[in-house]
Amino acid sequence: MATNTKYELKIGPATREGFGRALVALGRENDQVVVCDADLSKSTFTHLFAKEFPERFISCGIAEANMVAIGSGLAASGKIAFVASFSAFVLNKGFEQLRVTAAYPNVPLKVVGTHSGISIGEDGPSQMSIEDLALATSLPGFVVVSPADDVAIFELVKTLAYHPAPCFIRAGRSKAAIIYTEGEKFPIGGSKTLLDGNDLTIIAHGLMVAESIRAAEALEAEGISARVIDMYSIKPHDVEAVHKAVSETGAIVVAEEHLVDGGLGVKIAQTVASATPCVMEFVGVQDRYAESGTPESILDKYGLLARDVISASKKVLARKK
C-alpha cells in the first residue's frame, strides 16, 4: 500500500458474509470450532457453518444472555467458541455475561456482532448498533476489531479464532467496497495506511474506510494531501501510527459508523492528548438515534458520507496552525 495506490472500490460482499465463510474454513481446519447463534443464522451467515457442521452448531433460541454464557462455558472447556447475533443484541443483552463470564475470567470467547452501525437501513434504531464499540472496548482484556471489507474480516476471524483472549468482531449488513486483495494480513493492534499524505490524516474503520478514500481523492483534486488509515484494530489500536500521523500531518479526522461518544475517535484523542496534541475532528453518529430508510438515505441524513469527511477535513485544516 503506497501513495499512488488507486482504489476502484468495487462493491463486494457484506462483511457478515465473509464472517460466515471464515467460520466454514475454520470448521474444516479445526474440529474444536463450535458456533452458537440466537435465531438469526440466516442473517449472521452462521447458517453456512450450520449446514456443513450441524453437530457443532448450537441453536440457542432468542436468548442472547444465555448464549453468551453458554459460549463462555464451551470456550472455558477448550472449544474455539463463537457466539453471533446482531451486534445490538449480543452486546446489549449479553453485556453483563460478556463481563462476568468472558472478560473478568479471561475466557477466550469469540463474539461476533453483525448488522452494526446505522447502514442496516429499513429495520430502524432498535436493530442498529451504535454503542457496540463503546461497550466492547470498555471490557478489560477484550480485543476489538472492525474490518472494512471481505478480505479483512475473513483474515481477522481466522486470526482471532486462535487468540487466547476474548474478542469482539464487528460486521455489517450492507455490501462493502473491496479494498484489500487476498493474502493481506491483519495483525492485532495493527493498521493499514491506504493512502499517504502530509496535510492531514483520516483514520477510519468499517464502512467509513471506503468513504474516507473517496474523500481523500476528492481533497487531492483540491490540492489537499490526506493520509488515510484503516484502524481495523480498535482495541488495542496502533499507537505508533497515530503518533506518526500527529508528527507528520499535524491534523486528524476520525470517521466511524458509531456514536462519536465512546467510539474509536475518543480513543485516538486519548492517544494524541497523551503525546503531542494536534487538532482533531470527529465524523460519526452524534448524540441521537437514527431512523428507518434506505442505507444510503440514512448515511446521508446522519452525516456519514465522503462529503462529511471532506468538510471535517477542511474544518480541521482551518484550525491547524
Partner 1 sequence: MTSVETPSFTELEAIAKRVRRDIIEMITAAKSGHPGGSLSAVELLVGLYFDQMKHDPKNPKWTDRDRFILGKGHAAPVLYSVMAEAGYVPKDQLNTLRRMGSIYQGHPDVRFIPALEASTGSLGEGLSVGLGMALAAKMNGSPSRTFVMLGDGEIQEGQIWESAMFGSFHKVDNIVAIVDYNKIQLDGWVKDIMDLEPLGDKWRAFGWHTITIDGHNLSEVRNAYVEAAATKGKPSVIIAHTIKGKGVSFMENNPKFHGSAPSADEFTKAMAELA
Convert residues 37-66 into a mask of x (bound to partner 1 by CB under 8 A) and - (unbound).
------------------xx-x-xx-x-xx
**What is the Cα–Cα distance from 220 to 101, expressed in whole angstroms?**
48
Give the side-chain half-sphere CA count within 13 A for 319.
15
Q: How many residues would you count in the chain?
A: 321
Judged by CB under 8 A, which stretch of 102-110, 112-120, 158-166, 170-178 contacts partner 1? 102-110
Q: Do strands 251-259 and 279-285 pair parallel, antiparallel, or not at all (unpaired)?
A: parallel
Grid cell, residue 99, equals: 463481563
Of the residues 72, 85, 87, 174, which one makes contact with partner 1 according to CB under 8 A: 72
Residue 182 burial (C-beta neighbours within 10 Å; 0-12, 13-18, 19+):
exposed
Could you confirm whether 55 is annotated as catalytic? Answer: no
Contacting partner 1 (CB under 8 A), which of 11, 100, 273, 275? 100
CB of 35 to partner 1, least distance (A): 12
Contact 233, 189 (CB under 8 A): yes
With CA atoms as reference, report the closest residue to 200 among 238, 240, 250. Answer: 250
In the complex, least distance from residue 26 CB atom to partner 1, rounded to whole angstroms: 16
Please identify which of the residues 64, 131, 256, 257 carries the catalytic annotation. 64
Eight-state DSSP code of residue 227: E
Q: Is position 187 an interface residue for partner 1 (rule: CB under 8 A)?
A: no
Asked whether position 105 contacts partner 1 by CB under 8 A, the answer is yes
Q: Rounded to the nearest whole angstrom, what is the least distance from the CB of residue 133 to partner 1 in the complex? A: 23
Distance (Å, rounded) from C-alpha 301 to C-alpha 291? 10
CB of 102 to partner 1, least distance (A): 10
Would you tell me which residues interact with partner 1 (CB under 8 A)? Answer: 34, 55-56, 58, 60-61, 63, 65-66, 68-79, 81, 96-97, 99-101, 104-106
Residues with a known catalytic role: 64
